[in-house]
Amino acid sequence: MFQIVTDACCDLPADLLDKYKVAYIPMFVELDGKEYTDDLGKTFDNSWFLAQLKENKQPTTTQINVGRYMDFLRPYAQKEIPVLYIAFSSGLSGSYESSLMAVKQLQEEYPDFTITSFDTKTASLGQGMLVMEAIRLQEEGNSLAETTHWLDKYKMSLRSWFTVDDLKHLVYGGRVTKTQAAIGGLLSIKPILNVNEKGQLQNVDKVHGRKKALKRMVDETVTGVDLTIVDHFYIAYSGDKQAADSVAQQLKQHYPQTPISCFPLGPTIASHTGYGCLAVFSMGIRPI
């Protein structure tokens, strides 16, 4: 048996991870000079945080450093419990590289410690989907190596489609200019984004209006979807539950029997997308 570990960027609820005995490393969000712990909703007040985003406040986030990884993982090393760490994309954060340095140091201290730090090349419920599949594989009796092999084989089939309701946070992240955001706001332009093979968020297109943006994400999701890999859709949203429900209903029209899990974006990811972000994750032919 091995221990599955992930981090708060997976955006799965704490109680769900606790149910399956998955350990997770919290992230930290700073707002107005105060630091808050993103612990997947266990103590974090997400309603309050969403209200801050609606007021256009700009939180900042920090990556997990080597020391925090070592402190979190050392108890497993001391007990020689094998670990599979399913990590936030290296294309979006330096946390994964820090985890590799921590793993190297821990294995020097504890030569018999078995640990794999797995780069998902994705974020939010894309990462969460891979965590849920790792749980499934473990419950089916697969070893750590077998589970990692499956994740590595299929992670490039994971498809992520995003849209945001307000371009301001993309300005902060350097995705669009202030001029583009101003014009986009006046014309109600909504960006369509996905995650590329490097695990980085990229602009794909833009459409006029929120309704068209949601439909475009559904259309992109069902085009080339492969439910033989994972027969499940995941939807993440930041505040706008009505939009998430609309997307779920549209997906149901195409695949009425396929389960859909819908969870709020955690504060770490929402800090970079703002209020009104919506994302859809599935398996299939990866967009170019």
Q: What is the mean pLDDT of residues 231-250?
A: 97
pLDDT of residue 170: 54
- What's the pLDDT at 176? 45
DSSP3 helix / strand / coil % (the chain, rounded to 5): 45, 25, 30
Structure tokens at 276: 């009104």
Cβ count within 10 A of residue 81: 15
pTM for the whole thing?
Answer: 0.92
Whose tokens are 């981090």? That residue is 7
The predicted structure's pLDDT at residue 186: 35
Would strands 233-237 and 189-195 be described as parallel, antiparallel, or unpaired?
Answer: unpaired
Between CA 108 and CA 240 the distance in angstroms is 47
Strand partners, 62: 28
pLDDT at residue 279 tops 50: yes
pLDDT at 203: 84
Helix (H, G, I), strand (E, B) or coil at 140: coil
Confidence class for position 231, pLDDT limits 50, 70, 90:
very high
More confident residue, 185 or 31: 31
Give the integer Cα–Cα distance in Å for 224 and 55: 38
Nearest to 119 by CA among 98, 144, 142, 140: 98
In terms of Cβ atoms closer than 10 Å to its own Cβ (0-12, 13-18, 19+), residue 220 is buried
The average confidence (pLDDT) of the chain is 91
Chain centroid offset of residue 116 CA: 19
Mean pLDDT of 246-250: 98
- Point out the least confidently predicted range of 40-54, 170-184, 259-273: 170-184
Q: What is the rounded CA–CA span in Å between residue 38 and residue 164?
A: 21
- What number is the average pLDDT over the span 88-93? 93
In the chain, which residue ranges form alpha helices assigned H by DSSP? Answer: 14-19, 46-54, 66-78, 95-109, 124-139, 144-154, 168-172, 178-187, 210-222, 241-254, 267-273
**Residue 170: which H helix or E strand, with range?**
helix 168-172
Q: What is the pLDDT of residue 288?
A: 60
Helix or strand (DSSP H, E) at 85: strand 83-87
Assigned token pair, 154 = 């299929």
Residues 70-91: what's their mean pLDDT?
A: 97
What integer is the mean pLDDT of 81-87? 98
* Sign of the torsion angle spanned by Cα atoms 8, 11, 17, 22: negative
* pLDDT band at residue 272 under the 50/70/90 scheme: confident
Residue 205: is its pLDDT beyond 70? yes
pLDDT in tens, 135-189: 999 999 999 999 999 999 999 999 999 999 875 655 454 444 444 443 334 346 7
**What is the rounded end-to-end Cα distance, in angstroms, of the chain?**
37
Domains and CATH numbers, the chain: 3-156 (3.40.50.10170), 157-283 (3.30.1180.10)
Higher local confidence (pLDDT), 92 or 16 = 16
Q: How confident is the model at residue 117 (pLDDT cuts 50, 70, 90)?
A: very high
Token look-up 């398996």 returns 283
Give dist(CA 84, CA 80) in Å, integer.
Answer: 13
Average pLDDT, stretch 62-68?
95
| 26 Cα distance to chain centroid | 13
The tokens of 63 are what?
């990556």
Average pLDDT over residues 242-251: 97
Length of the chain: 288
Q: Which pLDDT score is estimated for 165? A: 82
> According to the model, what pLDDT value does residue 40 have?
95
